[in-house]
Amino acid sequence: MTARLLIVGPPGAGKGTQAERIAERFGIPTISTGDIFRANIKNETELGLQVKAIVDAGDYVPDSLTNALVTDRLEEADATTGFLLDGYPRTTEQVRYLDELLTSHGHALDAVIRLVADQEEIVRRLRKRALEQGRVDDSEEAIRHRQEVYLRETEPLIAAYRERGVLLEVDGLGAIDEITERIFAALEDRGLGARTA
């Protein structure tokens, strides 16, 4: 089934796990800007070399370059009937660009899945994981900072998608399978995909 989706959620909400399950259910690729950056750098593409130089200098990859990389990826054969975007768009400029890109092909996003999770619960979860895995750089302060950056960056995007009526807000706390079922139920309510027993 065709589906053009976007998943958003705070760091630690289990977005990667759910993205894999959604992509498998719909038979569409998960398109992550982080993965695209890494693949282009590894393959030493022209765009990849530009990204490497920017990242090595400690700078953010500009919207224009991110947009170009995403455009290239969306034009690959496996994404022609649908995709699940993860980590893009991150800015209002990227939202505008994606809208224009999809419209030029006669498409639009079918749904934006937002995993909603209590910040205190996520901080507890990530601190526990950090302690179990010996990740000393994952201090409570660092975790809280990432949560704040996420909220600041994504709030305008979430508001825009809510206005369009494509935002599906799903409780991101609980057992992994329960969250997956909530997502599939929300997508089904929107007319996307049939739930399995």
Is 124 among the residues known to form the active site?
A: no
Is 90 among the residues known to form the active site?
A: yes
How many CA within 13 A on the CB side of residue 145?
6
Is 125 among the residues known to form the active site?
A: no
Catalytic annotation, pick one of 42, 128, 129, 195: 129
Secondary structure, 3-state, the chain: CCEEEEEECCCCCCHHHHHHHHHHHHCCCEEEHHHHHHHHHHCCCHHHHHHHHHHHCCCCCCHHHHHHHHHHHHCCHHHCCEEEEECCCCCHHHHHHHHHHHHHCCCCCCEEEEEECCHHHHHHHHHHHHHHHCCCCCCHHHHHHHHHHHHHHHHHHHHHHHHHCCEEEEECCCCHHHHHHHHHHHHHHCCCCCCCC
Is 73 among the residues known to form the active site?
A: no
| Amino acid, single-letter form, for residue 12 | G
Is 38 among the residues known to form the active site?
A: no
Catalytic annotation, pick one of 21, 38, 52, 90: 90
Catalytic annotation, pick one of 135, 162, 164, 195: 135
Catalytic annotation, pick one of 15, 25, 73, 114: 15
Catalytic annotation, pick one of 38, 125, 144, 146: 146
Catalytic residues: 15, 90, 129, 135, 146
